Structure 1
Amino acid sequence: MTTPKSPLPPASSPVPRPPSREAPGPAASRPPAVVELRGATKSYPGGVHALRGVDLTVHEGEMLAVVGPSGSGKSTMLQIMGTLDKPTTGTVEVAGYDVGALSDAQLSALRARHIGFVFQHFHLAAGRDAVDNVADGLLYAGVSPRERRARAREALARVRLDHRYSHTPSELSGGEKQRVAIARALVGGPRLLLADEPTGALDTASGEIVMELLHELHAAGTTVCVITHDNEIADSLPRRVRFRDGEIVSDTSSERAVSR
Structure 2
Amino acid sequence: MSPPSVVELRDVTKVYNGHVQALRGVDLTVASGELLAIVGPSGSGKSTMLHLIGTLDLPSTGTVRIAGYDIADLSDRELSALRGRTLGFVFQQFHLARGVSALDNVADGLLYTGLSPRVRRERAAATLERVGLGHRLGHRPNQLSGGEQQRVAVARAVAGDPPLLLADEPTGNLDSTAGAEVLRVLRDLHAGGTTIAIITHDPEIAAWCPRQVRVRDGRIVSDRGDGAGRPAEITKGART
TM-score using structure 1 length: 0.86
Tell me the secondary structure at the aligned position of residue 240 of structure 1: strand
Structure 1 partner of 2:68: 96
Partner of 2:47: 75
Taking the aligned partners of 2:79 and 2:97, their CA distance within structure 1 comes to 24
Q: Structure 1 residue aligned with 2:94, among 113, 118, 122?
A: 122
Gaps of 5+ in 2: 228-240
Tell me the equivalent position of 1:21: none
Aligned residues: 227
Gaps of 5+ in 1: 1-28, 256-260
Percent identity over the alignment? Answer: 65
Matching residue's letter, 1:140: Y
State how far apart, in whole Å, the 2-side matches of 1:58 and 1:137 are. 26
Tell me if 1:48 matches 2:20. yes
User: CA offset at residue 142 of structure 1?
Assistant: 1.3
Residue 82 (structure 2) aligns with: 110
Stretch of structure 1 that moved more, 206-215 or 42-51: 42-51
**Given residue 173 of structure 1, which amino acid in structure 2 is its aligned partner?**
S
1:67-216 matches, within 5 Å, as 67-216=39-188
Q: Deviations over 1:89-134 (max 9, x none)?
A: 1111111111001111111111111100000001111111111111
Whichever residue aligns with residue 248 of structure 1, its letter is I
Q: Deviations over 1:151-208 (max 9, x none)?
A: 0000000000011101111111100000000000110000000000000000000001
Instruction: Measure, in 1, the Cα distance between the counterparts of 2:194 and 2:65.
Output: 18
Distance apart, 1:254 and its partner CA = 4.1
Deviations 1:198-226 (A, max 9, x none): 00000000001111111111011110110
1:30 paired to 2:19: no
Closer, same or farther: CA 200–65 of 1 in aligned 2, 3 Å:
same
Query: Cα distance, 1:145 vs. partner?
Result: 1.2
Partner of 1:245: 217
